[in-house]
Amino acid sequence: ELINFEIPNSVAHIGESAFCQCPLTNIEIPNSVTSMGINPFEGCTSLETITVEDGNQYYDSRNDCNAIIETATNTLITGCKNTIIPNTVTSIGSCSFMGSLYYDTNHLTSIEIPNSVTTIGEWAFGYCSVLSEVVFEENSQLDTIGEYAFYRCESLTGIDIPSSVVCIKKSAF
């Protein structure tokens, strides 16, 4: 059964994989949240919308992007199948879209990486088994593709790596 879950305003921290495999469809991060662990919504395959309450000083979901962005660093830290990465994001964080070997990921089939992104973190799209298309915007500033960034993306049959990339780390593909 799919559920909508409301995080209480008393919550200040959401831990790593806190909602792992939970059948969430929508989640709103309240103003009270000041820190998050890696990939708190890992394996939430039904997650369609992610929003951060207006006024949160640490995180945002600018431009209705369906993602959580760490405001201070412009790093996308958690995304879902409907995420559209804003052109103000400079980094895609570690494990931000990561799935798992044992269950399908967030059903992300394609993603466009804006030219503002300079790094893709380790395991960012790891185990995204149905990801079949990654498009980099023209004039990409991408510099680094992290370890295991696209590991076990079995549906990804090709990718045009931008000429700006100078570092592809261990087992990125």
Q: Which of 79, 76, 72 is nearest to 89 (CA)?
A: 76
What does the pLDDT read at residue 83? Answer: 95
Paired strand residues for 151: none
What does the pLDDT read at residue 4? Answer: 72
Question: What is the block-wise mean pLDDT of the chain (173 residues), using blocks of 10 residues?
Answer: 79 93 90 94 85 96 96 96 96 89 67 98 93 96 98 92 98 96
Please state, in angstroms and rounded to a whole number, the distance separating the CA atoms of residues 63 and 161: 26
Please state, in angstroms and rounded to a whole number, the distance separating the CA atoms of residues 37 and 41: 10
What does the pLDDT read at residue 95? Answer: 93
Q: Which of 32, 146, 15 is nearest to 78 (CA)?
A: 15
Q: What is the dihedral of CA 78, 4, 53, 111, to 10 degrees?
A: 30
What does the pLDDT read at residue 1? Answer: 60
